[in-house]
Chain A
Amino acid sequence: MHRLDPRTKIVLTFVYILSLFIFENPAVYAVAALFLIIEIILSRIPILYMVKGLKPVAFLLAFTVAVNLLFTGGQELFSFWIFTVTIEGIKRSSYLIGRLIFLVLASNLMTLTTAPVSLTNALEYLMRPLKLFKVPVHEVAMMMSIALRFIPILVDEANKIMKAQMARGADFDSGNIIKKTKSFVPIIIPLFVSAFRRANNLAQAMEARCYNGGEGRTRLNPLKYRRGDVVAYVLLVIYAVLIVLMGCFLFKAPPVAL
């Protein structure tokens, strides 16, 4: 998994997520689950660690389930107070929860096995056709990678400024919403000033090292497809065919629109 070309991983993840949205039937989801489990095993990332990755979206999951469970019309199963639970609701929410979990796991899997640098490189490559439409692909990719480099630095900086203002008696917890919002001004302004200063310095440093846009650049780590990637693409095609077959014919259900 770790050694696959980042382009392969992006395409893989993209097709996988697409498959979750196009079809909605138990067989497809079973295949999708199987596919994901195999991927996780191949990646050698501890399952527990993957499950932990779901934590941040747990609230969203619960909320979606609750809404769909309680507010989907259809055949009534049972009801209490003002809520009615229907068979359709159960179906709908279990699809949704499956879809969300698969989606989060698949994208986590991609980011966990790939360095951000390679991801931006791969995106730059995959988006190249967009150049025809005058999209500045190289610049976008460069922006992404600089952003990735500077986010931790700026988070650190924000933390420092916040503490410095607290040392001057600033209070970020009390008061009403207006007061609270106002209390962030002494953080936001220095943070902006610092971000601009850094941006300026960085631009100079890049210029000093002969940065001149994307034209004529070579790469330390050019993207190269290996045998593993071919295997992965073949598997992907098999998966796609399987899903389409099952989605369209096995249950004779029309594909649900995006």
Chain B
Amino acid sequence: MPIVDLKNVTFEYIRRDNEGNVDGITTAVDGVSLKVVPGEFIAVLGANGSGKSTLAKHINALLFPTEGAVYVDGMNTADEDKLLEIRSAAGMIFQNPDDQIIGQIVEEDVAFGPENLGVPTEEIRERVSDSLNAVGMSEYGLRSPDRLSGGQKQRVSIASVIAMKPKCIIMDEPTAMIDPEGRREILETAHRLNKEEKITMILITHYMEEVVDADRVFVMDKGKVAMSGTPAEIFSRVSELQELRLTVPQATGLAYKLKMAGVPIRDGILTGDELVNAIMKLWPVAK
């Protein structure tokens, strides 16, 4: 059974002008169908306004489709009785680290989810310390979130979601407001949780480097899935990506330029090492 199953999901909202009159209808998500298998690491790419955030909020039952249906772990998000179950099965990390930390100390924040779920006190304590451990923030349990760096705050948010024992975590541009070092911390944490705890990850981003290690990539454009495939497949379609206001990692871009100029190297190069190997393979021939 897929952990996330989107069936022809469409989401529309009504735009209003200053006087409150209906100005038009915007279709933010337009007939998206996709399945995510448990344990996968999925990346969703897309320009600003491509509908990727709106789509993400459907998986956590914060938004509901105008048409189509969303199933999380077999539960339909339209089923109101299952709401809490769905939200704890599919946890969500948001972009702004400051606006999602509710507790005044780290520990309290991590406990917020389990408290809402009515988990007994001793178990909450256990979950809090396990979750903080899992994101490498055990020493910060009693700190105020205000004193943490952006990367640390996002790791606290991840811990807060893990404390609800989710099967899947949706991360909605978690690195957009974070510096490179913090970005690395967040990405490492996500990949480790995916490998070690087998939590399915859905990462929404427009940093191309963050996509390289994903299992599958979806590229959204104007509410639709415009491209899908492995990172290697996606990144070999450089000009299409550029048309969608995106780009490719530098290694891929360089490989593409060389290939265009007639250098015989393979498609789908993602990392610097791959590119160096490909070029050096040609080199001994000259000697």
A and B touch in the complex (CB under 8 A): yes
Give me the interface of A with B, judged by CB distance under 8 Å: 115-117, 145-146, 148-149, 152-153, 197-198, 201-202, 204-212, 216-222
With A148-B104, A205-B99, A205-B102 known as contacts, the answer to whether A220 contacts B121 (CB < 8 A) is: yes
Q: Are B118 and A216 in contact (CB under 8 A)?
A: yes
Nearest B residue to A199, CB-CB: B99
| Interface residue? B30 (CB, 8 A) | no
| Interface residue? B154 (CB, 8 A) | no
Q: Are A210 and B94 in contact (CB under 8 A)?
A: no
List chain A residues, Cβ under 8 A from B117. 210
With A207-B62, A209-B164 known as contacts, the answer to whether A219 contacts B115 (CB < 8 A) is: yes
Q: Are A153 and B98 in contact (CB under 8 A)?
A: yes
Nearest A residue to B125, CB-CB: A220
Bound CA span A115–B145, Å = 14
Nearest A residue to B163, CB-CB: A209
With A115-B105, A198-B99 known as contacts, the answer to whether A212 contacts B116 (CB < 8 A) is: yes
With A117-B108, A198-B99, A208-B62 known as contacts, the answer to whether A217 contacts B92 (CB < 8 A) is: no
Bound CA span A145–B124, Å = 20
Q: In whole Å, how far is B265's beta carbon from the nearest beta carbon of chain A?
A: 44
Interface segment, one of B83-91, B187-195, B227-235, B271-279: B83-91
With A145-B104, A149-B102, A220-B107 known as contacts, the answer to whether A205 contacts B124 (CB < 8 A) is: no
Contact residue among B102, B121, B146 (Cβ-Cβ distance under 8 Å from A206):
B102
Q: In whole Å, how far is B4's beta carbon from the nearest beta carbon of chain A?
A: 15
List chain B residues, Cβ under 8 A from A217. 115-116, 118
List chain A residues, Cβ under 8 A from B124. 218-220
Q: Could you list 18 A-B pairs, sorted by A, with CB under 8 Å? A: A116-B104, A149-B103, A152-B146, A201-B99, A201-B100, A202-B102, A205-B94, A206-B112, A207-B87, A208-B62, A208-B87, A210-B113, A218-B114, A218-B124, A219-B124, A220-B111, A220-B128, A222-B121
Bound CA span A28–B108, Å = 41
Bound CA span A205–B124, Å = 19
Indicate the size class of the contact surface on chain B. Answer: 35 or more
Bound CA span A83–B107, Å = 59
List chain B residues, Cβ under 8 A from A209. 87, 91, 102, 112-113, 116, 160-161, 164
List chain A residues, Cβ under 8 A from B121. 218-220, 222
Nearest B residue to A215, CB-CB: B118
| Interface residue? B119 (CB, 8 A) | yes
Q: Are B164 and A204 in contact (CB under 8 A)?
A: no
List chain B residues, Cβ under 8 A from A149. 101-104, 145
| Interface residue? B247 (CB, 8 A) | no
Q: Are A212 and B115 in contact (CB under 8 A)?
A: no
Bound CA span A116–B91, Å = 28
List chain A residues, Cβ under 8 A from B125. 220
Q: In whole Å, how far is B153's beta carbon from the nearest beta carbon of chain A?
A: 11
| Interface residue? B96 (CB, 8 A) | yes
